[in-house]
Structure 1
Amino acid sequence: MAPAAVSLRATIFCFLAWAGLAAGDRVYIHPFHLLVYSKSSCDQLQTSNAETPKDPAFTPVPIQAKTSPVDEEALREQQVLAAEKLEAEDRVRATEVGMLLNFMGFRMYKTLSEMCSMAGSAVLSPTTLFGTLASFYLGALDPTANRLQAFLGVPGEDQGCTSRLDGHKVLSALQTIQGLLVAQGGANGQARLLLSTVVGLFTAPTLSLKQPFVQGLAPFAPITLPRSLDLATDPDLAAEKINTFMEAVTGWKMNRPLTGGSPDSTLLFNAYIHFQGKMKGFSLLPGLQEFWVDNTTSVLVPMLSGTGTFQHWSDAQNNLSMTGVPLSENACLLLIQPHGASDLRKVEALTFQHDFLTWMKNLSPRATRLTVPQLALRGSYDLQDLLAQVKLPTLLGAEANLGKISDANVRVGKVLNSILFELKAEGEQPIESAQQPEVLEVTLNRPFLFAVYERDSTALHFLGRVANPLSMV
């Protein structure tokens, strides 16, 4: 079968698989046998708890300490190598976590969307969100651990050890999910994808962190940076130091930097993620093009254009069109555009909820010339705000039991997820293509929605809204 046909079939399959997850009710088959503790693991835990002294702890070095910059290419190579060594059980475990994080992603995106103005863009990473909560689960004791497990989507039926999530297995599955996305880049002539995750653990100078907790974050965030600084005297100055430090380490500019938090906080958890997708066969159009923010206002933005066989469907009843573009052999970019700017809120509510399955079944291959803005979306949100909106303001509050993070009483302040999402052409020079009859013209020059999905794990990596490519998220 020709590579184009394989890619097309993969695109159809992954969209339909995603649709089934999005449309289903939140019903889980318990136990998630690959994510909970096995009987032998429980026996080992009981023995180690009885015999082992306290976990070794350390005080993070001051934030002024010299730190090497992030090498994103080296991170990508590590992800590719890890993906090449995956076994069947690793893939099944990743699928289980993929299902859980998708449900949470849709729920929390709805919450984030309601908090944001429709005049602005929005972007959320379900994988980073789930990984952040799983990281806190790794550091939690009951009753906080039990509440976090329930929120992650796995009920602990009898409260026994074999009903409890193994945090290390969950974070390992997230590592698999990240690796599967980037490992497909470059295959069969597709452009490479880049996905980098960095976690900053910022503590009060007197707070010591347990080594097993920090080391346990490595599968989710291969670069974890514990640093100490004065969080109490001047929270705004502390925020400025953190922003300067993270920008120097990552090289990523975040347009909404961390602002001062509560002076009684002793731990800030900041997860930073960078995604870069280069679209195969697309080129940057010369000059700037008009993007209509609403019916009367436009801005000038760089646009990408490419011609190929993409999945497409136009729905007159709901006033929207959908276009699916393969980013790699297994990764899909789905673009959803309302026919009118005023329909954005309605289409957003429908897209990431119950109508997804019906819509996916209607997608069909079309010879298409697609024009879409070049994107560099920068978004930040405090998970504490999202938890408050879903009636869980105390989940990581002052009473949270995080005894696996530190022997001291940990008071969690801001829990930040910061995202840099880039969509570029593979090259800057126009790519000549043979003339095709009846080519469908699809131009996303009005507000639209997007998602990035990986087929093998069924995981949603990003959900977003582009109301204005030039606006802050």
Structure 2
Amino acid sequence: MKVVLGLLLPCLLAEVWLVPGLTPDPQLPEAQAQLTPTAQNGTGEEDGDEAARDKEDRAEQNGAEEDGEEEAEEAEEPWLTASGQQLSEETSNFGFSLLRKISMRHEGNVVFSPLGLSVAMAALMLGATGQTEAQLGPGLSLPARDQSRPVPRQALFRQLRDRLSRNRELGLTQRSFAFIQEDFDVKETFLNSSKSYFDTECVSLNFHNASQAKRLMNEYIKKETQGKIPKLFDEINPGTKLILVDYILLKGKWLTPFDPVFTEEDTFHLDRYKAVKVPMMYRAGKFASTFDKNFHCHILKLPYRGNTTMLVVLMEKMGDHLALEDYLTTDLVDTWLRSMTTRRMEVFFPKFKLEQKYEMHELLKQMGIRKIFSPWADLSKLSVATRNLRVSKVLQRAAIEVNEKGTEALVGTLSEIIAYSMPPIIKVDRPFHFLIYEETSRMLLFLGRVVNPTLL
């Protein structure tokens, strides 16, 4: 027997569609014990002695559960914020490392979700143990547990999803599914943990009838995503026991849209010798930007509603975009963001649509995550029947479409930054990189490279 884990990690489509899934459920009892500190008196109207006693006793009072949840959340915030910042930094750097691995295979268009892959693998960790589990965390650059407060790292992702789901302007939809072979014995603890942390919905199927299983799963996902993911599965192995599907659909609308009236066909230079015609959007207004003199690149900030931003990185010279990837880190991006200045300028930006599918398991093996894909994988927290049980695939399919309305869907390098070297007109008419991140958490949602905007 073997487990095939097909992880549709980000599916960015017309406006921005991503893929790992979530919407947390009530925590498991053990997770509650780890995450919920003693509730504090939030009224501020009682004297000091009584307030101190309340701080110690309130957690034991049955009549104050609802208030306790709100107060506990407030009390947790400093710890969660610090841990969340570390999670965002490590996930982003993992994404930059993955981009470098992808670039070793091809130099064309790229789009994927670092967050999507990290979330899906964190969900898979719930079923792993021993060296298999130990290899996943460092391999994915996930924060190690604080021994003084042994909080599951999955709780950090849940806390992030909670925060993002409360942001209504962001337009984020997150779901998680487990398609399970009808006679496969999955441990109740794994199912409960998946439900608690990732709100996973379980669906029983007969994978022995591979064609029917494929049709049913495609129809199920298509319905759940309202047609945004019309076909996820191309083929199914009849020996499959479990398929996990996580998706995030993010519909990003520009804070200030481009006016379609000003969109015109223009030239996009693929290299020094080749060019294509693309619909080029135009907007005049105030933009935040900077110029990195060390790397000779312009960095432009295009904000979405809901405190989310696309960062566009455009090299000054044609053909230098690939060289930049060796130096991308969160430290470098933070340096860019700190040096930005806002001023009036004219921006030309191409409409584009990308769709990419990656066999992430091959890339993960190159990054040191091998045991979970081997015959010696230890998935004993997933099922009693662990013999010959391994993960055979981790897939990510991502798509992004950028138009006038919006997006549907760094080693500490010393960089000399000029606060203002950006020309009054910036025209994105050659290969560039983009980063889509949520500003409060600084979590990198999508990362990509546009070499030819006319190709999927």
- TM-score, length of structure 1 as denominator length: 0.66
1:444 aligned partner = 428
Whole-Å Cα distance in 2 between the matches of residues 202 and 407 of structure 1? 18
> Does the alignment pair 1:250 with 2:250?
no
Which of 454, 464, 468 is residue 438 of structure 2 equivalent to?
Answer: 454
Matches within 5 A, 1:56-95: 87=74, 89-90=76-77, 91-92=80-81, 93-95=83-85
1:282 aligned partner = 257
Matches within 5 A, 1:72-151: 87=74, 89-90=76-77, 91-92=80-81, 93-115=83-105, 117-119=106-108, 121-151=109-139
Task: Report deviation, 1:450.
Answer: 0.7
Q: Is the 8 A contact 2:87 2:143 kept in 1?
A: no
SS at match of 2:372: coil
1:169 aligned partner = 155
The verdict on how the C-alpha distance between 1:202 and 1:247 changes in structure 2, with shifts beyond 3 A counting, is: same
Superposed CA RMSD in Å reads 3.7
2:361 aligned partner = 384
Does 283-292 or 218-227 show the bigger shift? Answer: 218-227
Whole-Å Cα distance in 2 between the matches of residues 88 and 471 of structure 1? 49
> Does the alignment pair 1:268 with 2:243?
yes
Task: Report deviation, 1:389.
Answer: 1.5
For residues 4-41 of structure 1, the C-alpha deviation after alignment (integer angstroms, 9 at most, x for no partner) is xxxxxxxxxxxxxxxxxxxxxxxxxxxxxxxxx89965
> Does the alignment pair 1:295 with 2:283?
no
Whole-Å Cα distance in 2 between the matches of residues 286 and 270 of structure 1? 37
Could you tell me which amino acid in structure 1 is paired with residue 126 of structure 2?
L
> Does the alignment pair 1:364 with 2:364?
no
The verdict on how the C-alpha distance between 1:423 and 1:217 changes in structure 2, with shifts beyond 3 A counting, is: farther
1:332 aligned partner = 309
Whole-Å Cα distance in 2 between the matches of residues 307 and 108 of structure 1? 35
Q: Is the 8 A contact 1:194 1:275 kept in 2?
A: yes
Whole-Å Cα distance in 2 between the matches of residues 350 and 168 of structure 1? 29
The verdict on how the C-alpha distance between 1:348 and 1:99 changes in structure 2, with shifts beyond 3 A counting, is: closer
Could you tell me which amino acid in structure 2 is paired with residue 391 of structure 1?
G
Structure 2: give runs of 5+ residues left out of the alignment.
1-29, 36-68, 407-421
For residues 325-373 of structure 1, the C-alpha deviation after alignment (integer angstroms, 9 at most, x for no partner) is 2223632221001233411211233344764455445432221222222
SS at match of 1:308: strand
Task: Report deviation, 1:127.
Answer: 1.5
SS at match of 2:251: strand
The verdict on how the C-alpha distance between 1:455 and 1:196 changes in structure 2, with shifts beyond 3 A counting, is: same
Whole-Å Cα distance in 2 between the matches of residues 369 and 384 of structure 1? 42
> Does the alignment pair 1:464 with 2:453?
no
Q: Is the 8 A contact 1:375 1:423 kept in 2?
A: yes
Structure 1: give runs of 5+ residues left out of the alignment.
1-36, 43-81, 186-192, 428-437
Task: Report deviation, 1:408.
Answer: 2.2
Whole-Å Cα distance in 2 between the matches of residues 96 and 354 of structure 1? 12
Q: Is the 8 A contact 1:243 1:257 kept in 2?
A: yes
Whole-Å Cα distance in 2 between the matches of residues 403 and 254 of structure 1? 32
Query: Which has the higher relative contact order, 1 or 2, with Cα contacts under 8 A spaced 6 or more apart?
Result: 2
The verdict on how the C-alpha distance between 1:259 and 1:142 changes in structure 2, with shifts beyond 3 A counting, is: same
SS at match of 1:451: strand
Q: Is the 8 A contact 1:335 1:450 kept in 2?
A: yes
SS at match of 2:319: helix
1:307 aligned partner = 284
Task: Report deviation, 1:179.
Answer: 2.9
Whole-Å Cα distance in 1 between the matches of residues 103 and 436 of structure 2? 17
The verdict on how the C-alpha distance between 1:411 and 1:350 changes in structure 2, with shifts beyond 3 A counting, is: closer
Whole-Å Cα distance in 1 between the matches of residues 204 and 428 of structure 2? 43
2:59 aligned partner = none
Whole-Å Cα distance in 2 between the matches of residues 265 and 305 of structure 1? 49
Whole-Å Cα distance in 2 between the matches of residues 266 and 413 of structure 1? 11
Q: Is the 8 A contact 1:451 1:462 kept in 2?
A: yes
> Does the alignment pair 1:179 with 2:162?
no
2:395 aligned partner = 416
> Does the alignment pair 1:403 with 2:380?
yes
Could you tell me which amino acid in structure 2 is paired with residue 417 of structure 1?
Q
Could you tell me which amino acid in structure 1 is paired with residue 222 of structure 2?
E
Task: Report deviation, 1:309.
Answer: 1.7
Task: Report deviation, 1:135.
Answer: 0.4
SS at match of 1:445: coil
Q: Is the 8 A contact 1:276 1:422 kept in 2?
A: no
- TM-score, length of structure 2 as denominator length: 0.68
